[in-house]
Amino acid sequence: MYGWGGRILKVDLSKSKSIVERLNGGDALKFIGGRGLAVKILWDNLPPGVDPFSPENILVFSVGPLTGLPIPSSGKLVVATKSPLTLGYGDGSIGSVAAVQLRRTGFDAVMVKGKAEKPCILLVGDEGAEILDAEGLWGLETFKVEEELKEEHGKEAGILSIGPAGERLILYANVVSQGGRAGGRPGIGAVMGSKMLKAFVVKGSGTPRVSDPEALKRLGSEAYREILEKPNYNFWVRQGTMATIAWSQSHGVLPSFNFREGVFEGADEIGGDFMESIKVSQRGCPNCNMICGNIVRDSEDAEAELDYENVAMLGSNIGLGDLRKVAYLNRLADGYGLDTISLGNAIGFAIESSEKGVIEEEMEWGDFQAIRELVNDIVEGEGIGSTLRLGVKRASEVIGSESWMWAMHVKGLEVSAYNCHSTPGMALAYATSPIGAHHKDAWVIAWEVTRGGGGYGEEKVDKVIELQRIRGGLFEFFTTCRLPWVEVELSLSWYPRFFESATGIKLSLEEMYVVSDRIYSLIRAFWIRELAQDWSRELDVPPPRWFRDPPSKGPTMNSKLDYGRYMEMLQLYYRKRGWDGEGMPTKATMRRLGIEYAA
Ligand code: PTT
Ligand code: SF4
């Protein structure tokens, strides 16, 4: 089979054993790779209802048929598991040499279950896995872990590691690579920690077998060239995602003061133009010619990498208008292996709770020293930090009072950096995202604000589904970066051509979207299976603040969502997906998608 390695590596850390299995050809065609393969593996192998921190939970590292090939931005890899933060499906997509190396081993996915007796690393090569001692690495920050592992396994090794946050099972601990690529927001780093798995190290020596290598090479270089000629290319390389700060501010959707406001007085001081004035270099993922990781020197004169989400959540959302200090917090989070988005939410939630007098600790917006200590307290589990490390949903349950009103999450995953008082489409995208409130699957807000925000119509529901099919489907199952398409408008029509030259299989975009729908419905079935009687359509509703608590200034002043109209829009979304009134895929839908076993 061209295009796939055709093998899955199954590792049991409890038994210190691994076996190699053939990839089921039917699964490859139906789920393609990356996220698709990950959810199929979890569905088939995970006993329903397991505790995410039990040895039975499964971690999946997977790539797709386009990963690591000589085509634009193909160095991405999916990490997936049952999330300890949401108790549902959780995944993330990381740009890393590990993606390219995994592809070279000929494994399409590595599935890890069990729990090692002591800290270990998993070393994956062409023949299988070795489980190596990592006691000397336990307790170290991710930067140091990667440095030491590179010394031991060579500069070319792909490495994903966890920091102290993952070891201590902080529910939003993530996985870090290359000192500033991070993924697995819903606590995937904590699941690694629960298995005593400090790092995943991978080195392959093969070349992915593709159907038409010449065509692939030609298409790849044409597409790379097209990217260089795009009008937005130079600006993108200068600012990357950081340009979004000014954009969000101008539309009143920049999360500020725990999503209470949509504009921030200090936006210029944390924006892309200012960032350019202090930028020292840039970094990125493999195989990419539009690298976007902005490196600046932080308030302690160390190098830190900045992206929009990090800066909005650790800047405006906590009232901090000093980019070097924001960069310092970002570096702290990368070293600890803590998701910056959830961290910015947890800090904002704590400051607002302090302001409202529902916790004893005294904290103020933008108080850098206090915030820095708070981050350390979260990692150490001290004081209010021991509650905040549970994520804002559970923290609000512990703190009580009316704090659920300002706990910004969907299904337990904290909201990423778009305030949605005035954008029902983006609110729907957050609410129906397959992992909780993340913008990965449908960043509909850019399209929505150019049409005046506001409405709840069918066109918006269609757009959310279309974006979910492309962003949450196609880019996640091919497992390549979506930003060439999103940011410089590389045409989607390249992807069926890449896929055909890689696999020899002709699939139209429409046929690919059926694969996306299959993956979406299986992820949905996974949530329903795991949450069982706790499942309800209320889980597809965005945070109460957007319905009740309008911003007091800026372009979105006085706007809020309408609950009744939102619920009508949600029902329309369900009908279009072939799900029932509670958001469960119907039997007919599952049959149509060829996954009736999950009905
Ligand atoms: C992603 C989420 C994001 S999304 C950001 S910034 W973004 C935050 N980055 C963090 C970080 O950094 N350090 C940290 N300790 N925590 C962080 N948490 C946050 O994690 C990422 C880029 C970006 S930058 C985006 S939008 C795109 N995401 C893609 C995706 O999801 N899929 C895909 N096929 N292509 C994508 N391209 C872009 O990749 P999660 P990365 Mg990350 C320092 O994965 O779990 O979705 O979390 O992947 O390699 O860092 O690249 O404005
Ligand atoms: Fe990585 Fe940015 Fe390139 Fe995407 S555009 S592959 S996130 S460097």
Please give the average pLDDT of every successive group of 10 residues along the chain, which has 599 residues: 96 98 97 98 97 98 98 98 98 98 98 98 98 98 98 97 98 96 97 98 98 98 98 97 98 98 98 97 96 96 96 98 98 98 98 97 97 98 98 98 97 98 98 98 96 90 98 98 98 98 98 98 98 96 98 97 98 98 98 97
Nearest ligand to residue 481 Cα = 1
Q: What is the pLDDT of residue 309?
A: 97
CATH number among 3.30.750.24, 3.40.50.200, 1.10.599.10, 3.40.50.720, domain 425-489+508-598: 1.10.599.10
Among 63, 69, 73, say which to mutate for ligand 2: greatest number of ligand atoms within 8 Å of CB: 73
The DSSP bridge partners found for residue 159 are 201
pLDDT at 486: 97
Q: Rounded to 10 degrees, what is the CA torsion of 499, 501, 505, 507?
A: 40
Ligand 2 pocket member 490 (CB < 6 A): no
332 lines ligand 1 (CB under 6 A): no
Pocket test for ligand 2, best of 481, 482, 486, 488 (most atoms within 8 A of CB): 481
Domain ranges of the chain: 7-202, 232-419, 425-489+508-598
* Ligand 2 pocket check for 97: Cβ under 6 Å: no
CB contact at 8 A, 493 and 90: no
Q: Is the CB of 433 under 6 A from ligand 1?
A: no
pLDDT at 454: 81
Strand pairing partners for 124?
Answer: 129, 202
Ligand 1 contacts CB of residue 183 (under 6 A) = yes
> Residue 470 and residue 468: Cα distance in Å, rounded?
5
Assign domain 232-419 one CATH number from 1.10.569.10, 3.40.50.300, 3.30.70.890, 3.60.150.10. Answer: 1.10.569.10
Instruction: Determine contact, residues 132/119, Cβ cutoff 8 Å.
Output: no
- Calculate how far, in angstroms, residue 183's C-alpha sits from the geometric centre of ligand 1: 6
Q: Whose CA is nearest to atom 2 of ligand 2?
A: 292
Name the CATH topology of 7-202: Aldehyde Ferredoxin Oxidoreductase;  A, domain 1 (3.60.9)
User: What whole-number distance in Å separates Cα of residue 362 and Cα of residue 478?
Assistant: 48
Look at residue 453 in the predicted model and tell me its pLDDT: 78
Residue with tokens 């947890």, as numbered in its chain: 346
- The alpha carbon of 440 and the centre of ligand 1 are apart by a number of angstroms equal to 8
Decide: 573 and 530 in contact? Cβ < 8 Å.
Answer: no
Distance (Å, whole) CA 326 – CA 175: 20
First to last CA, the chain: 30
Single out the residue of 360, 309, 336, 347 nearest to residue 166, CA to CA. Answer: 336
Question: At how many degrees (to 10) do helices 368-380 and 323-336 cross?
Answer: 10
**306 Cα nearest atom in ligand 1:** 43
Atom of ligand 2 nearest to the CA of 95: 1
List Cα–Cα distances, 112 to 32, 510, 580, in angstroms: 20, 33, 34
User: pLDDT value at position 452?
Assistant: 83
pLDDT at 509: 98
DSSP 8-state secondary structure symbol assigned to residue 471: I
Ligand nearest to the CA of 437: 1
